């Protein structure tokens, strides 16, 4: 199924629900970065797996992030196939609307080593990293994940927050890069063009998601967002501040930049690949650009929280979605980067045009320029977010 542009996409919900007010509270401290006594250990918070006798699974995900039957919205073909093949009954809930908001729902239970009522939850890299840092996520058994071991994209292995690939399994991924409307401006290729070109003054937006905007600026300065220093961050932030102070950047947005880009109210922006794919279905003048310096790669990850009692069933679900045929079925609906090798060939049977789309199946030229933002400790997260919010005026 090819989707029309959605006014609020899944990625946009990362910042569109709570905004910066949720990030900064209590005198500038990031909400939920950690609370006294919250840290858990594998030995200190032991979880029992009842999968052998209980064929059930509670799965929490974002809205519009699962394939739905075109003729019957109550049917989810890829998930229904899992239920039919495994006999595991899945309670599927679209209750992840914002990473910080969801953290608030579960932090008291996880901090106390109590169950959340969920066996699988899907969270973005930086929130997954926070929960892993707090010791709130169960270790996965790789022997039960043969499809994941065989088919996970190399670019998504050994990420900074999960170097041994035993805690988080990517659900879908996406890129942050540049985008422009060819009806109102000429091509852009670099972040420096976006931030300084006179004809774009006041016609540019950037993202309120710190990791994506700052990741691109770090790369534009020749630095690696997966491994940078505080001074390098400050240099990139100063570059951003100059563009704000000069009036080059009109504002910072969640994904509400997308309608403005489509109408030509803005000419160019820092944006997300999933949004631009959807806009491009209606207007081929809307173009996503991989800057010469590189793009940021993010993922939403399947995680098994502490005290979840069906880890084995969760591993079976993860393995199911790394079957290339199932992965292609899902990707054809959601239009984000598919993290599964072999799915592109399966997609050719479903929709050859989508199979050829490098924003769903990136080629090596794109992946070689993609970087994952480094995992931050609590102090770094607080410091960098506070500095960034001050510059963007949130």
Q: Which domains does the chain have, with CATH numbers?
A: 56-172+299-360 (3.40.190.10), 174-297+375-392 (3.40.190.10)
Q: Tell me, what's the pLDDT at 160?
A: 83
Q: pLDDT tens across 192-220, in order?
A: 999 999 999 999 999 988 999 999 999 99
Q: Tell me, what's the pLDDT at 256?
A: 83
pLDDT < 50 positions in the chain? 1-32, 34, 36
Give the angle 368-124-188 at the CA atoms, nearest 5°.
45
Q: Tell me, what's the pLDDT at 155?
A: 82
Q: Tell me, what's the pLDDT at 377?
A: 86
- DSSP of 334-368, one letter per residue? H-SB--BTTHHHHHHHH-HHHHT-TTTS--HHHHT
- Find all residues with CB under 8 Å of 30, minimum gap 6, and list them: 23, 24, 378, 381, 382, 385
Q: Taking a C-beta distance cutoff of 8 angstroms, is the pair 222, 285 a contact?
A: no
């Amino acid at each position: 199924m090819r989707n029309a542009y959605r006014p609020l996409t899944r990625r946009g919900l990362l910042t569109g629900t709570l905004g910066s007010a949720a990030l900064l509270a209590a005198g500038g401290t990031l909400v939920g970065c950690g609370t006294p006594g919250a840290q858990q250990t594998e030995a200190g918070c032991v979880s029992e797996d009842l999968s052998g006798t209980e064929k059930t699974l509670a799965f929490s995900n974002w809205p519009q992030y699962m394939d739905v039957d075109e003729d019957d919205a109550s049917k989810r073909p890829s998930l229904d196939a899992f239920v039919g093949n495994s006999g595991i009954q899945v309670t599927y809930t679209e209750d992840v609307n914002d990473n910080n908001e969801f953290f608030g729902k579960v932090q008291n239970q996880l901090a106390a080593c109590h169950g959340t009522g969920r066996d699988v939850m899907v969270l973005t890299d930086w929130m997954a990293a926070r929960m892993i840092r707090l010791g709130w996520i169960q270790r996965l058994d790789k022997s039960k994940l043969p499809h994941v071991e065989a088919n996970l994209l190399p670019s998504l292995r050994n990420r900074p927050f999960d170097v041994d690939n035993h805690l988080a399994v990517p659900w879908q991924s996406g890129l942050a890069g540049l985008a422009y409307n060819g009806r109102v401006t000429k091509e852009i290729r670099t972040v420096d063009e976006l931030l300084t070109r006179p004809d774009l003054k006041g016609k540019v937006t950037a993202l309120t998601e710190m990791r994506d905007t700052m990741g691109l600026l770090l790369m534009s300065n020749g630095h690696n967002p997966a491994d940078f220093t505080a001074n390098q961050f400050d240099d990139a932030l100063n570059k951003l501040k100059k563009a704000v102070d000069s009036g080059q950047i009109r504002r910072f947005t969640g994904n509400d930049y997308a309608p403005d880009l489509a109408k030509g109210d803005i000419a160019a922006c820092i944006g997300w690949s999933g949004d631009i794919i959807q806009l491009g279905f209606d207007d081929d003048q809307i173009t996503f650009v991989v800057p010469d310096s590189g793009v940021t790669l993010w993922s939403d990850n399947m995680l098994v929280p502490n005290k979840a009692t069906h880890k084995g069933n969760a591993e079976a679900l993860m393995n199911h979605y790394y079957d290339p045929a199932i992965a292609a079925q899902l990707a054809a609906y959601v239009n984000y980067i598919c993290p599964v090798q072999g799915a592109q060939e399966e997609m050719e049977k479903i929709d050859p045009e989508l199979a050829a789309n490098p924003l769903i199946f990136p080629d090596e030229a794109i992946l070689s320029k993609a970087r994952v933002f480094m995992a931050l400790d609590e102090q770094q997260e607080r410091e960098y977010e506070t500095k960034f919010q001050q510059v963007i005026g949130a």
